[in-house]
A and B are shown apart, each in its own frame.
Chain A
Amino acid sequence: MKRVAIVVQRCHGSVVGGSESLAWNYATLLGDAYDVDVLTTTAIDISDWANVLPEGREQRDGFNIIRFPVTVGRSAYWGRLYDRLREGFNPFAVGRHRNGGQTLQPRWTLALQEEFIKHQGPYSEPLNNYLAAHWRDYQAIIFVTYLYPTTYFGLYQLPPGVALFAPTLHDEQPAYLSAFKHAAHRARELIWLTEAESRVGRKLWGDLPGRVVGMSVDTKLREPAPAPIPYLLYCGRVDPNKGCAELFEFYFKYKRATRSRLRLVITGTADMEIPPHPDIEFRGFVSSEEKFSLMGGASVFVIPSPNESLSIVTLEAMAQGTPVLASAASEVMVDHVNRSGDGALYRDYESFAAGLDKLLGKRGKGQSSVSVGRDYVTSNYEIHHIKSRLIEAVEATARVVIDKPLAEPASFRFTRDQFIERFEKNLRDCTWREHPLYSPFTQFDQEYYLAQREAFVHKYRCFYAVSRTIFPRSIIELGTCAGSSADAYLSASPHAKYTGLDLFGANARHDDGTVWYPLDVASALLTDRAFKDWTLIQKDLRMLQQLPEEAELVVVDAAHDFYNEYEDLKLALTAHPTFIFVDDADDDKQAKPAIEKFLSEDLKGRVEYTVPIEYLGGGLVIKLRK
């Protein structure tokens, strides 16, 4: 079975935490289809990340948990750094513009930010070493939650574009550290819990490839707790940061104003004083069955927290048919309420009271166990929905680990229409992005590419989609240059054996005049992408009579003059390809006549179909008959 690893800062039955629950939820969802390893630390306590659990392997519910010791925990030193960081965040500090959009950008160097992240803990050198040594053993590695060094430094142990990353991102101070943004850009794909979270991601980190997966919710209906007097329910940590002080204030005000008998029932832990009142009942920790039953019996479930990345309890309450009254300060809650068409939002006391009136009146609790809120949860967060989305994300990582020869590609039997249909789908689904260091946008004449960035990104995505559609077992490229197109072809067909030929002539950088060696750049790029099977051969194509081996796809890059273009096309045939892809085919003066001559003379009667691909310069796919 293929293996998947999930990396999370801690994992233990006694731990209650959003990201830890998410990691376990994903392990459970993937457990049928993959061998899942949860990679975590030996720590439980967030206050110091002390090593309290044994190192090594452990089995829990059929999953492997591999624990690594923490080498840097949390200390007073981190507290001092955090204080300094908060000073840096102070929007009213000297030299800052009060109304500037940049007030949350701390002025810390990356090195300093990393010091902060490392000492926040849990930092585990052995975990990093394990990831660096073993990432190839896994079909996918999913990093859960952005904040901790297990994820931050873990992402740097893999080459860019490999990891899946579920950041559980909130709009909070540390999220503005640019280090996290850079780390996020190393992931192949982001896994978001909600649309709202992905919007926060776009705001803080820019455009990133990703998909909303969510987390599965228990939707089984439970027997509602009997409620002779109606009650409002809150489940979670009672904490001013969770909006609880305001909740108590509004609740008392509402009772005074309406002379309502409405009770307030609370489960969870108390990190602030709960006002003593006969109508407030604090139950502390309760079993999940009791929690579901209380949810079912409540008239209204209230969620006052302004910072939520998903709010499982809200979804659980909705699934029990209970309407939700939520703080409109949380974008996620606004989404849940608006998209479900159920519940109400509040910004102040007036909207709190109005929302409560509306929900209490509408509900007439117990009369109907089916609600639009429940429909929203069952159609979006039920286990099989989340599972299939998560598996899709894992499969899309497509680091095909080959242990037997692959069968002939299906594309060999495509009709022209099928080819076009597949190509268009692959182009839409394309997650390829240029490498941050090695791409046309950083090469010696980068200004030319940067001036038309979008057009060029589209071009390389087309290369990706061509390769994905053909899915060849072998590729030869004539004119590899710095390997950017090789990167696109191989990202789409990572199992393929790739051979790149070029003279690899050096150029002077336009910006600083230093020498730019395309062979070095291409080697660094393909190494960093961790492609398995590639060879670069420095050869003058004009001196070649025959390609070194056969290939199912031969790519001919523009030679920019008739004679060389035509010779390259003829050379391509010596590899006995099934597909030839000609780049820069639209050049009317040189390439086009060469291609026409090639098609009409050399390939006479051998062409099954051709497909023009539209991008800057244009490409042409030629399918040959067997």
Chain B
Amino acid sequence: MSRIAILSPSLANGDAVTNDVFGMADVLKQRGHDVRLFCESHAVDNGRVFNVTRLRSFLSGRDDILIYHFSHGWRPALDLLATLGCRKVIKYHNITPAHFFHGFSRSDVELCETGRQQLAEVIRGGRCDLFLSASAFNMSELIALGAAAEKNFVVPPFHRIDRLANLSVDDRVVAKYSDGKTNVLAVSRVAPHKGHLSLLESFAQFHFNCNRNSRLLVVGKGGEGLSRYSRLLHRATEMLGLRDAVIFTGGVSEEALKAFYKVADVFVTTSEHEGFCVPLVEAMSMELPIAAYASCAIPETLGDAGVAWEDRDPFLLAETLDVITSDATIRSEFAARALRRYREEFTEAAIEKSFLNALSSVQ
């Protein structure tokens, strides 16, 4: 049995990378490995987490394994990857292109730019034994940077869906939003690359041209230092005349999140950059029909479980929302496809299998 360190710059409840970290740790612990989590800062309730400074003393043997979750720039990880003698695995969650944050957040621009530089540096260094990518889209970036194809595997991220399934829904959300209005749901961090302006634009088309008895629920917390972006969205909502039809919930509990999925009639994403898009999989598991723009990894994750348009055309997306929400046959067909895709591709068991299969190449 190996000692395995799972490393991430930070860990926070509800965060997609954190869910992946915990999912991996559970699977490896069940197989008898000595697993520890390391980071620089964390805000999680469960499990023991160690500071990154203690990692070097934990991984002493050549057969020990370091799994680093790469999502932005972080120098301590680079130093460890360059100097440790154990096996090294990168889980690549993709790095948001820095230009999305220009004008909104300098610190994010910097994190993303250094992330890209460090990723290139790591691959050039040639000291990693294995690259796991959340999607083929991510994997192709690594290979383009020079990572050997045979060291690359696609492993979708572990998620919290099983936990959500067993939670109670927040019945206040149910009471508030089960009022006969058509609920269009978007779930993501409120950050510039998530395409909220496109979302508001297409929802406005839907709301004013197709269904006035509708509302848009934007669920997700705003990023730190992104208050300018939030203000922009609120201004846009006002300008589009959608003040009474769009709800920005901010961060919500998992019980409330589940309730939002349950009261929704359709899930929508207009995100401009995704390395995987976990909310799509959550929506699939909840049997929600999905409408999206086909950017980055979205069409790959979505498969045949929904509609993804190459053209970022608000009229097209609005019509799609209308067809899905007004035609019961189409809605139920998409709901069935969504659940089928989840069961075939993204259950914990399926992800566990591909993760262990990939990891076996370094064990």
Contact = CB atoms under 8 A, between A and B. Distances in A.
Interface stretch (A109-117, A298-306, A599-607): A109-117
Contacts of B288: 111
Identify which of A81, A83, A84, A512 gathers the most chain B CB atoms within 10 Å of its CB.
A84
A512 B335 CA distance: 19
Interface string A80-94: 110110011000000
Contacts of B335: 110
Contacts of A95: 179-180
Contacts of A77: 168
A111 B169 CA distance: 11
A442 B331 CA distance: 13
B262 A109 contact: yes
List the 6 closest pairs (A to B, CB-CB), nearest first: A107-B180, A77-B168, A112-B262, A111-B262, A80-B171, A84-B175
Interface in B224-276: 261-265
A517 to B, nearest CB: 13
B286 A84 contact: no
A80 B329 CA distance: 31
B13 interface: no
A111 B331 CA distance: 12
Nearest to B335: A110
A109 B180 contact: no
B323 interface: yes
B279 to A, nearest CB: 15
A108 B287 contact: no
Interface of A: 77, 80-81, 83-84, 87-88, 95, 106-112, 115, 436-437, 442, 512
Nearest to A178: B328
A437 B333 contact: yes
A84 B171 contact: yes
B323 A109 contact: no
B178 interface: yes
Given A442-B329, A512-B323, A107 B178 contact: yes
Nearest to A81: B171
16 contacts: A80-B171, A84-B171, A84-B175, A95-B179, A107-B178, A107-B180, A108-B178, A109-B178, A110-B287, A111-B262, A111-B286, A112-B169, A112-B174, A112-B178, A436-B329, A437-B333
Contacts of B168: 77, 80
A107 B179 contact: yes
Nearest to A76: B168
Contacts of A80: 168, 171
A107 B263 CA distance: 9
Contact of A115 (B175, B262, B264, B332): B262
Contacts of A115: 169, 262
B182 to A, nearest CB: 10
Contacts of A88: 178
Nearest to A79: B171
A97 to B, nearest CB: 12
Nearest to A77: B168
Contacts of B287: 110-111
Contacts of B175: 84, 87
B253 to A, nearest CB: 15
Contact of A84 (B174, B264, B265, B329): B174
A584 to B, nearest CB: 27
Contacts, number: 50
Nearest to B168: A77
Contacts of A107: 178-180
A77 B168 CA distance: 7
B338 to A, nearest CB: 11
Contacts of B171: 80-81, 83-84
B148 to A, nearest CB: 39
Nearest to B179: A107
A453 to B, nearest CB: 14
A81 B178 CA distance: 12
A231 B179 CA distance: 51
Contacts of A436: 329
B333 A109 contact: no
A120 to B, nearest CB: 14
Contacts of B286: 111
Contacts of A110: 287, 335
Nearest to B261: A111
A107 B168 CA distance: 19
A323 B329 CA distance: 50
Contacts of A112: 169, 174, 178, 262-263
A524 to B, nearest CB: 10
Nearest to B331: A110
Interface string B284-300: 00111000000000000
Contacts of B264: 109, 111
Contacts of B180: 95, 107
Contacts of B323: 512
Contacts of B179: 95, 107
B337 to A, nearest CB: 11
A436 B336 CA distance: 13
Contacts of B263: 108-109, 111-112
A112 B169 CA distance: 9
Contact of B178 (A83, A84, A437): A84
| B171, B179, B335 pick with most chain A CB within 10 angstroms | B171
Contacts of A437: 329, 332-333
A77 B169 CA distance: 8
Of B169, B183, B335, the most chain A CB neighbours within 10 A belong to B169
Interface string B161-181: 000000011010011001110
A180 to B, nearest CB: 15
B70 to A, nearest CB: 35
A11 B272 CA distance: 55
Contacts of A106: 178
A279 to B, nearest CB: 48
Interface in B307-335: 323, 329, 332-333, 335
Nearest to A78: B168
A183 to B, nearest CB: 13
A581 to B, nearest CB: 30
A293 B231 CA distance: 80
A87 B329 CA distance: 28
Contacts of A109: 178, 183, 262-265
A560 to B, nearest CB: 28
Contacts of A442: 329
A503 to B, nearest CB: 24
